[in-house]
């Protein structure tokens, strides 16, 4: 998502020569309390991801000596042992091995463990020298042909460290009933301190303090995020399935650049993009199915498969509104290879549900005429012109030929039960995805879409600086009136979703946290929507699953 309130002069250019003493300060700021001492330490938690029927990817980062902090490029090679067991006490060990943490990978390690049983809880731990990591839970996916009664996934997006705490992660971790959790992008943010919307209050500062540009910068920022206790708790509770959006690299990333990148002053785009991606794959328990991207597919028995999209690596540059280029068939959001992969996978799927992890909103969105006091903050949040709009060209609305081709493919192949799971927009939505928005609801729906709000990043009430719910009460009815396929939109709250799937329906339960600036924020259920098998339409449910 574009930044909230910022001025053109906000950027601090970081010169390449600032390596020694200048870099030392943000590196030191990234060092969590307790890093002192000679023994290796596990300061960034442990995690698992990308569950398969016979395995899962395990991750951790070891600090072998106090000075080997994220991004430092220093520290000795360190053997790291791992063990997997069927019990939390780790007495019934079923797999074990060893990997080596090196400065070349920022002392992060992964173990791609195989030979496990499907649909089974496991516990794991890493060890380095005399030090053990915390013990964490993970879970394998069901066997490919298994009849699965139900699945439950946490769903999150858009976590700005400086804007507040990650209470959503804590509440998801406390559930104890997740098969996995999906992070749909903007796991980190690239801006310097105070440069991204926080209601003008930095709740907790970034490290490094400047906008991140280099490999060391991105490693430090990932390291800072991984010290969050709520994020560590969720990673230690269930495997994550993650994709990136733009802020893991730079705002409004496209294949050849980004809105938040100045070629030359901030170095070559290719170098920055490569650094961001390298740090991401080092610090996240993610398998790059296609080198350098996050698009891939996971299967959860006969109940669901999950196609995960990378909508930044191949996309054409975003265009201005009103010039017709959004319909240009030579422009792409997905890239040809990825779109063909998605189409063929959806058509060939033999599961009950086809889930799509989708970084930016699929459903068409026009806001018609809003009052000036609402249009201005909505435009700032969505990257739209303040004088009026029809589209947000950073999402599928800006690449309509790709969307038409995909939806036509669903119709031609009678593909049903497709559910897009989306983040990015800092609002919660429940949408039908119509073939023709102009004639909807008289015309058919191709799919449904559940959009989760931000964990902490600014939404409309934060930008306007009014009490929660004030903007949504006025804006939501106008948005729905102009978009009849939108069943619900909440522009103001922060929180998370829980997707509950059975053969009969896919249901998203939306939860909100009480205050993103409160580390002990409470959580409450807000709304639930579902789509029944075979309908391609959303309906409200009056209780969580």
- Assess whether the previous peptide bond of 273 is cis (omega < 30° from 0): no
**Same domain as 495, residue 457:** yes
Pair 54, 162 in one domain: no
Environment class of 96 (CB within 10 Å of its CB; exposed 0-12, middle 13-18, buried 19+): middle
- Same structural domain, 181 and 291: yes
- CA dist., res. 479 & res. 377, Å (int): 14
In the listed set 77, 111, 139, which residue is the last one of a domain according to the structure?
139
231 in a structural domain: yes
231 lies in the same domain as 326: yes
Show the domain range for 225. Answer: 142-541
DSSP state of 437: G
DSSP for residue 534: T
Q: What's residue 376's pLDDT? A: 63
Residue 291 domain-assigned (yes or no): yes
Which of 139, 158, 181 delimits the end of a domain? 139
Residue 304 placed within a domain? yes
- The pLDDT score that the predictor gives to residue 375 is 59
Residue 272, token pair as written in the block: 């920055």
Low-confidence ranges of the chain (pLDDT < 70): 1-37, 322-324, 368-391
Angle between helices 372-382 and 470-482 (to 10 degrees): 80
* pLDDT of 470: 86
Contact yes or no for 236/137 (Cβ under 8 A): yes
Give me the number of domains the chain comprises: 2
Q: Cα–Cα–Cα angle for 205, 207, 209, nearest 5°?
A: 75
Residue 15 lies in a domain: no
Distance from chain centroid for Cα 148: 26
Alpha carbon separation from 56 to 48, 92, 287, 515 (Å, rounded) = 7, 18, 10, 34
- Summarised one tens digit per residue, pLDDT across range 118-165 is 999 999 999 999 999 999 999 999 999 999 999 999 999 999 999 999
Please tell me the predicted confidence (pLDDT) of residue 391.
Answer: 56
Is residue 171 domain-resident? Answer: yes
Question: What phi and psi, each to the nearest 5 degrees, are found at residue 395?
Answer: -105, -165
Are residue 101 and residue 158 in the same domain, yes or no?
Answer: no
End of a domain among 139, 167, 182? 139
- Per the domain annotation, does 3 fall within a domain? no
For the sheet containing 240-242, what is the strand order?
A: 108-113, 55-61, 46-52, 240-242, 180-183, 151-156, 495-501, 505-513, 523-532, 538-541
Q: What is the CATH number of the domain that holds 246?
A: 3.60.21.70
Q: Is the dihedral of CA 116, 119, 120, 126 positive or negative?
A: positive
Write down the pLDDT at residue 129: 95
In a domain, 451, yes or no: yes
**Could you give the CA distance from residue 158 to residue 188 in angstroms, rounded to a whole number?**
8
Half-sphere exposure of residue 477, counting CA atoms within 13 Å on the CB side? Answer: 5
Say whether both 126 and 150 belong to one domain: no
- Both 71 and 153 in a single domain? no
204 and 130 belong to one structural domain: no
Judge whether 94 lies within some domain: yes
Q: Does residue 258 sit in the same domain as residue 116?
A: no
At residue 339's C-alpha, the angle toward residues 288 and 186, to 5°, is 50
Task: Name, in order, each residue with C-beta under 8 angstroms of 230's C-beta and a sequence gap of 6 or more.
Answer: 165, 166, 167, 168, 169, 170, 173
- Tell whether 95 and 202 lie within a shared domain: no
Alpha carbon distance 319, 393 (integer Å): 6
Contacts of residue 427, Cβ cutoff 8 Å, sequence gap at least 6: 451, 453, 459, 460, 489, 490, 491, 492
Partners of residue 132 on adjacent β-strands = 127
Residues 90 and 151 in one domain: no
CATH number of the domain enclosing 88: 2.60.40.380
- The DSSP line for 223-287 is HHHTT-HHHHHHHTTS-EEE---STTT-TTEETTEETT--TBTTB-HHHHHHHHHHHHHHHS---
Q: What is the pLDDT of residue 114?
A: 98
**HSE-up (13 A, CA, CB side) for residue 458:** 30
The DSSP letter of residue 517 is T
Domain identity same for 161 and 126: no
Element (H, E) at 471: helix 470-482
């Amino acid at each position: 998502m574009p930044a909230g309130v910022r001025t053109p002069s906000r950027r601090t250019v970081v010169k390449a020569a600032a390596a020694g003493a200048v870099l030392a300060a943000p590196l030191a700021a990234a060092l969590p309390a307790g890093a002192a001492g000679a023994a290796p330490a596990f300061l960034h938690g442990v995690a698992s991801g990308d569950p398969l029927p016979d395995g899962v990817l395990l991750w951790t980062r070891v600090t072998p000596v106090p000075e080997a902090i994220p991004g430092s490029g220093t520290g000795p090679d360190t053997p790291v042992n791992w063990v997997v067991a069927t019990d939390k006490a780790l007495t019934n060990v079923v797999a074990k091995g060893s990997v080596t943490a090196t400065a070349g990978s920022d002392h992060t390690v992964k173990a791609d463990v195989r030979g496990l049983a499907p649909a089974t809880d496991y516990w794991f731990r890493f060890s380095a020298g005399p030090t053990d990591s915390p013990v964490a839970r993970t879970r394998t996916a069901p066997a490919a042909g298994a009849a699965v009664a139900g699945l439950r996934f946490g769903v999150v997006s858009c976590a700005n460290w400086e804007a507040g705490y990650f209470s959503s992660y804590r509440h998801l971790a406390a559930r104890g009933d997740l098969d996995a959790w999906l992070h749909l992008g903007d796991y980190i943010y690239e801006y310097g301190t105070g440069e991204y919307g926080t209601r003008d209050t930095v709740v907790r500062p970034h490290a490094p303090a400047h906008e991140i540009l280099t490999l060391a910068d991105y490693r430090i920022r990932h390291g800072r995020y991984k010290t969050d206790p709520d994020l560590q708790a969720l990673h230690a509770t269930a495997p994550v399935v993650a994709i990136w959006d733009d802020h893991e690299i730079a705002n409004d990333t496209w294949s050849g650049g980004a809105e938040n990148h100045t070629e030359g002053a901030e170095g070559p785009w290719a170098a920055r993009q490569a650094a961001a991606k390298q740090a991401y794959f080092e610090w996240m328990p993610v398998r790059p199915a296609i080198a350098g991207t996050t698009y891939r597919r996971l299967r959860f028995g006969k109940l669901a498969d999950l196609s995960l999209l990378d909508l930044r690596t191949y996309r054409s540059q975003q265009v201005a509104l009103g010039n017709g280029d959004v319909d240009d068939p030579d422009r792409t959001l997905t890239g040809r290879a990825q779109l063909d992969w998605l189409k063929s996978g959806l058509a060939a799927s033999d599961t009950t549900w086809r889930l799509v992890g989708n970084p930016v909103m699929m459903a068409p969105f026009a806001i018609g005429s809003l009052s000036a006091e609402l249009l201005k903050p909505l435009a700032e949040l969505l990257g739209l012109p303040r004088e009026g709009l029809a589209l947000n060209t950073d999402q599928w609305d800006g690449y309509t030929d790709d969307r038409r081709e995909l939806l036509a493919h669903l119709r031609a192949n009678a593909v049903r039960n497709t559910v897009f799971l989306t983040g990015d927009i800092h609002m919660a939505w429940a949408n039908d995805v119509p073939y023709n928005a102009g004639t909807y609801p008289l015309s058919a729906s191709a799919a449904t879409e559940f959009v989760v709000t931000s964990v902490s990043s600014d939404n409309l009430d934060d930008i306007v600086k009014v009490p929660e719910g004030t903007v949504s009460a006025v804006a939501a009815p106008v948005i729905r009136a102009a978009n009849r396929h939108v069943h619900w939109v909440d522009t103001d709250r922060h929180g998370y979703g829980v997707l509950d799937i059975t053969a009969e329906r896919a249901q998203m339960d939306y939860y909100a946290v009480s205050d993103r600036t409160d580390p002990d924020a409470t959580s409450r259920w807000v709304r639930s929507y579902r789509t029944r098998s075979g309908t391609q339409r959303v309906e409200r449910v009056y209780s969580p699953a």
